[in-house]
Amino acid sequence: MNDVLLKYSQLCDIFDCFSIGVMILSPDRKIVVSNESAAAIAGYAKSELVGEYCHQVFLDPLCGEKCAYLEAIQKSQKSGQIDFKVTDQTHQNSNITRIISPVYGTDREPLGCIEVFQDHSAFKNLLERVRHDDRRLKSILDHLDIGVLTVDRGGHITLFNSTSESITGFSRGDVLGKSCSKIFGKAYNRDILLFKETIADGQTRSSTDGTIKTRHGQLIPIRANYMALKNENGNIVGGLATISDLSLKYQFNSEIKGRYTYYDMVGKDPAIQKIFDIIPVVASSDATILVEGPTGTGKDLLAKVIHNVSKRANKPMVKVNCAALPDNLLESEMFGYVKGAFTGADRDKPGRFQDADGGTIFLDEIGDLPLALQAKLLRVLEDQEFYPLGGRKTVKVDVRIISATNQNLGRLVQEKRFREDLYYRLNVMRLELPPLIDRRSDLPLLITHILKRMSATRDVTIDTIANDAMEVLLNYDYPGNIRELENILEHALIVCRDTVIERSHLPLKFHSAMESPAPAETHRTIESEMEFNQKGLILETLRKHNWNKGKTADALNINRTTLWRKMKKYGLNPKDKDRE
């Protein structure tokens, strides 16, 4: 043994006093020195180790399938570390940390290495006893329907009950010993400040409008109470917080009242985050907004959120689906009519614009608005006034217009099917919602959010989703986007009679082995084909159903009125059947 390694070997006996194992290896990885602690930790007698090659004596997990010594030399590292567990003959687990530190000569040639083994199981057990000293108390706290957590004076979490895990999505292992800012958010969060003040002066405090951050980064509303924890001498040693999740109550009220706020839109994908950032900006103005995106992406929800955070929130929001009403009814529905305007008009009837006076009107499927009505809508945008059907006096309204479409309005303008001047007036602020396939990272967040909302309205409890069911949900492409995801989860809630959603509770198409979506023609709808060959799709479906409009409309997932308008637009006539 060279002098350098001999100098280090004299430390082995000293480390034995602290139950820390030390081994010294030669350059060819032969064990030249080992103290008693290292032998005991490794499960050998000291005489069985000295003179043996370490890679021949130590199998996994001590080596972790690789030689940390050789890796450290190759990378010119000063040391490396491996953490692992060892089970002895009595089936007791030990938590071992192994530190490998190469020793170099003056010419940077490796002379061997020093390996240090430390069993910190006793330390872990001590922490466990400190954190969960009273098992009976912990059991009681775990069965409460309210979140409970405790912290020490430094704000580090020392207890985290089961309801807290359910509310936040964090497990105890994720947060114990960590700063409470991990779940409350940034250090200047109001709830953290309340908690710190309580620990400082011992005064109980409450937060009726607090927030807490879930494991997926979503902020959810909570009600919290904070109190100080004192020892037997009356000294403050930490704090305790009780947490009530208000999101279910909030979502239930939203569902019943039809009102939405910012919390109803969830997502951490950058595209969604950009929309979240701009919502307060666009909501504070009265500029017209155009929302674009594939069907089922939540365009109507975005419109409701914008309305409800705007200064018009206390005024009505009126929705008009431009594709669901026949052309001859659209004008009277939107702008109203006066008595005698047509047969059966025995009284004045206000239109949707008058209903929305002072508030917001949402024009869905604006791309299907007939050209004749587009000119009238343009005047409303420019002058905030219009003539009711059959009227001779204009009606003035104060209305903010939000429109939405799953079509490319720019292309419709080029095809002369949409007025260019109206397009530019509608397109003052443009928001684009991405398809769900482009924001897969939001799927776990959306699934949790939708299930919570649906569970609240149906008064059912779902604890979790089985792994195979979740795998299916996370890998499906969702051609119908969020609307399709909602339908799938609603189906599962109806079928499920337990607290766990299994794969068998999903729609039938998901029951077989992991499969790609069915052929496109079995899933095609009028919305998904709009950008490609709408006329061809309608004609193909009409032929398939022998020009029966009812069956064709059902197959395309549209109503008969919309089908009639599309047939008129593309010149599709049942007489063509005779020419086939």
**270-432, superfamily in CATH?**
P-loop containing nucleotide triphosphate hydrolases (3.40.50.300)
Domain extents in the chain: 3-121, 132-245, 270-432, 436-517, 522-579
Angle at 75 (CA atoms; ends 71, 78), nearest 5 degrees: 85
Rounded-to-integer distance, Cα 62 and Cα 41, Å: 11
Judged against a pLDDT cut of 60, whether residue 500 lies above it is answered with yes
As separate numbers, helices (DSSP H) first and strands (DSSP E) second, the chain gives 28, 19
In this structure, how many other beta carbons lie within 10 angstroms of the beta carbon of residue 31? 23
Q: Region 166-188: what's the mean pLDDT?
A: 78
Tens-place pLDDT, residues 15-49? 665 567 888 888 888 888 888 878 877 777 788 88
Identify the residue whose tokens are 């002072």.
358
pLDDT at residue 563 in the model: 78
| HSE-up of residue 74 (Cα within 13 Å, Cβ side) | 6
Q: Region 103-132: what's the mean pLDDT?
A: 62
User: Domain 522-579 classified CATH 1.20.1300?
Assistant: no
Higher pLDDT, 344 or 156: 156
Q: Region 161-188: what's the mean pLDDT?
A: 80
CATH number for the region 436-517 comes to 1.10.8.60
In this structure, how many other beta carbons lie within 10 angstroms of the beta carbon of residue 60? 9
Tens-place pLDDT, residues 79-96? 566 665 555 444 556 667
| 208: three-class secondary structure by DSSP | strand
And the tokens for 433? 């919602």
Looking at 178-182, 291-295, 487-491, which range is the least confident one? 178-182
Looking at 139-143, 308-312, 477-481, which range is the least confident one? 139-143
Tens-place pLDDT, residues 198-243? 998 888 888 877 778 777 777 778 888 898 888 777 788 888 888 8
Which of 528, 522, 436 shows the shortest CA–CA distance to 486? 436
> 250 falls in which pLDDT band (50, 70, 90)?
low
> 186 falls in which pLDDT band (50, 70, 90)?
low
Q: Region 571-578: what's the mean pLDDT?
A: 64
Tens-place pLDDT, residues 437-461? 888 888 888 888 888 888 877 777 7
522-579: same fold as 132-245? no
> 575 falls in which pLDDT band (50, 70, 90)?
low
Percent of the chain scoring above 90 in pLDDT: 16
pLDDT at residue 513 in the model: 44
Maximal C-alpha separation, the chain: 113
132-245: which CATH topology?
Beta-Lactamase (3.30.450)
Strand partners, 148: 242
CATH number assigned to the domain with residue range 3-121, chosen from the 4 options 3.40.50.300, 3.90.230.10, 3.40.50.1100, 3.30.450.20: 3.30.450.20
Identify the residue whose tokens are 């370490």.
54
Residue 523: phi, psi to the nearest 5?
A: -115, 0
pLDDT at residue 254 in the model: 52
Judged against a pLDDT cut of 60, whether residue 387 lies above it is answered with yes
